[in-house]
């Protein structure tokens, strides 16, 4: 493995001095034997990329990308150039997870055979027990899943759904499994959040704000997709009340000097809008012909069922941004500069606090309490 890492660094045009430092710090270990007050001399022992070393994940990525480049080079239909014509096959490599998307089974078999040989050349092995094969089709599979499938002479389990980087991919075109997966992830996140809140109690206003900006949007999404998940809205609202009650049970009493400042705009809407603008800038900085640029220009077909919230999805990224509150003027100018865009969004953030003279009388109250300088209410002057 050490020779493979050195070769990957050399192909990346890394200076020899830096390669020697990487080998000395990450790929070479010093060991000796001690018995009482006596000890042997230090012996240098080589080691491979392993867990526990901060540099190991990056070195493993270098080796994996080197293998992928070598494997894809002789395959005519695969390419690593975003500007190349055609959308499939698509190859995605993140950490030790590799995803291959294609409309032909032959592409998957060719890649698997070449990839397995390329891994063996660097003393790595393809883990077939964790590999999964999925066929996405609008026609249901008549045979039960999971079952074994043979690809390039290798037995790979064929499954009905798989999760890649947190996204659920299913064999059918139904949105119900994906929606249910997102809802379950939100519920599990809350289950992991409650013990931390019990360990260090927060003000009740902070918990209310957490519910309004984090949990309530997830509940609203689940309410909007109730017909897909086959859940009743009454039970969902009851569960929302139970969650809010569990949060407030962990709160500490508010101090007398706390006063809720005013908020002029929803934090959830402004945060989502800022995230959409940052992602738009990420797309704008991609080279021409990049898949993200093609996805930005894509417009989905008409809605299947009018009036159903779960089918009232935005047809394009432009429509998704248009549904949010209008962004500040001039937001498209700094899209190509990541640093300038971050500074612009930070400066253009909605006003979180305002005096009674600046805010309208019916402005919603911000639920995060603020401690006064003198421990008393500002209105007491």
Q: Is the dihedral of CA 72, 76, 80, 86 positive or negative?
A: negative
Q: Indicate whether 8 and 110 sit together in one domain.
A: yes
Does any domain span residue 313?
yes
Does any domain span residue 150?
no
Residues making up the chain, counted from first to last: 381
User: Cα 79 to the chain's mean position, in Å?
Assistant: 25
Q: Indicate whether 325 and 245 sit together in one domain.
A: no
pLDDT for the residue 378: 39
- Domain boundary (126, 143, 163) is at 126
Q: Indicate whether 245 and 298 sit together in one domain.
A: no
Does any domain span residue 156?
no
Does any domain span residue 289?
yes
Q: Indicate whether 15 and 85 sit together in one domain.
A: yes
Q: What are phi and psi of 158, to 5 degrees?
A: -90, 125
pLDDT for the residue 111: 92
Q: Indicate whether 239 and 285 sit together in one domain.
A: no
Does any domain span residue 95?
yes
- Domain boundary (199, 230, 254) is at 254
- Taking residue 350's Cβ as centre, other Cβ atoms within 10 Å add up to 16
Does any domain span residue 169?
no
Q: Is the dihedral of CA 277, 282, 285, 287 positive or negative?
A: negative
pTM: 0.53
pLDDT for the residue 109: 92
Q: Indicate whether 9 and 62 sit together in one domain.
A: yes
Residues 27, 47 contacting (CB under 8 angstroms): yes
* Dist. CA 83–CA 81, nearest whole Å: 5
R_g of the chain computed on alpha carbons: 27
Tens digit of pLDDT at every position of the chain (381 positions): 677 788 888 887 888 888 777 777 766 666 777 787 777 777 666 665 555 565 677 778 888 888 888 888 888 888 877 666 666 788 888 777 888 988 888 999 999 999 999 888 888 888 888 889 999 887 878 888 888 888 888 899 999 888 887 778 888 877 677 777 777 776 677 667 777 777 777 777 777 777 777 777 766 666 666 655 556 667 666 767 777 777 777 777 666 555 444 444 456 667 778 888 888 888 889 888 888 888 787 776 655 554 444 455 566 777 777 777 777 778 888 888 888 888 888 877 654 433 333 444 444 433 333 333 333 333 443
Q: Indicate whether 45 and 82 sit together in one domain.
A: yes
Does any domain span residue 249?
yes
Q: Indicate whether 75 and 119 sit together in one domain.
A: yes
Does any domain span residue 373?
no
β-bridge mates for residue 94, sequence order: 97
β-bridge mates for residue 252, sequence order: 203
Q: Indicate whether 13 and 119 sit together in one domain.
A: yes
Q: Which domain holds residue 236?
A: 176-254
Question: Tokens 């009454």, residue?
Answer: 234
- Within 154-232, residue ranges assigned H as helices are 176-199, 204-210, 216-224, 226-229
Torsion of CA 223, 225, 230, 236, to 10 degrees: -10
Question: Tokens 């695969």, residue?
Answer: 78
Helix, strand, coil fractions of the chain, as percent rounded to 5: 45, 15, 40
Q: Indicate whether 250 and 272 sit together in one domain.
A: no
pLDDT for the residue 24: 72
Q: Indicate whether 44 and 112 sit together in one domain.
A: yes
- Domain boundary (227, 254, 281) is at 254
How many structural domains does the chain have?
3
Q: Indicate whether 62 and 27 sit together in one domain.
A: yes
- Taking residue 33's Cβ as centre, other Cβ atoms within 10 Å add up to 9
């Amino acid at each position: 493995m050490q020779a493979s890492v050195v070769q990957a660094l050399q192909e990346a045009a890394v200076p020899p001095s830096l390669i020697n430092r990487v080998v000395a710090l990450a790929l070479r270990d010093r060991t000796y034997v001690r018995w009482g007050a006596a000890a042997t001399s230090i012996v240098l022992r080589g080691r491979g990329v392993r867990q526990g070393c901060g540099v190991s994940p990056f070195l493993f990525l270098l080796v994996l990308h080197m293998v992928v480049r070598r494997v894809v080079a002789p395959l005519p239909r695969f390419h690593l150039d975003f500007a190349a014509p055609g959308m499939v096959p698509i190859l995605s490599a993140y950490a030790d997870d590799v995803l291959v998307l294609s409309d032909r089974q032959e592409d998957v078999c060719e890649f698997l055979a070449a990839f397995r040989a390329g891994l063996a050349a660097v003393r790595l092995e393809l883990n077939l027990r964790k590999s999964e094969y999925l066929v996405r089709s609008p026609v249901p599979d008549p045979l039960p899943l999971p079952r074994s499938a043979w690809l390039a002479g290798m037995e790979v389990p064929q499954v009905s759904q798989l999760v890649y980087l947190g996204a659920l991919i299913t064999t059918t075109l139904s949105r119900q499994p994906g929606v249910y997966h997102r809802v379950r992830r939100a519920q599990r996140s809350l289950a992991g959040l409650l013990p931390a809140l019990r360990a260090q109690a927060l003000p009740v206003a902070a918990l209310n704000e957490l519910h309004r900006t984090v949990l309530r949007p997830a509940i609203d999404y689940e309410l909007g997709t109730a017909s897909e998940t086959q859940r009743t809205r009454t039970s969902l609202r009851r569960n929302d009340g139970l969650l809010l009650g569990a949060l407030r049970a962990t709160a500490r009493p508010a101090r007398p000097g706390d006063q809720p400042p005013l908020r002029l705009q929803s934090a959830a809407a402004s945060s989502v809008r800022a995230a959409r603008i940052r992602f738009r800038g990420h797309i704008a900085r991609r080279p021409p012909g990049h898949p993200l640029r093609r996805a930005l220009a894509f417009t989905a077909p008409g809605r299947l069922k009018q009036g159903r919230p779960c089918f009232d999805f935005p047809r394009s990224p432009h429509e998704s941004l248009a549904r949010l509150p209008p962004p500040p003027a001039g937001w498209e100018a700094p899209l190509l500069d990541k640093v300038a865009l971050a500074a612009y969004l930070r400066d253009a953030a909605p006003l979180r606090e305002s005096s009674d003279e600046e805010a309208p009388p019916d402005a919603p109250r911000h639920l995060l309490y603020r401690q006064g300088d003198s421990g008393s209410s500002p209105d007491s002057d």
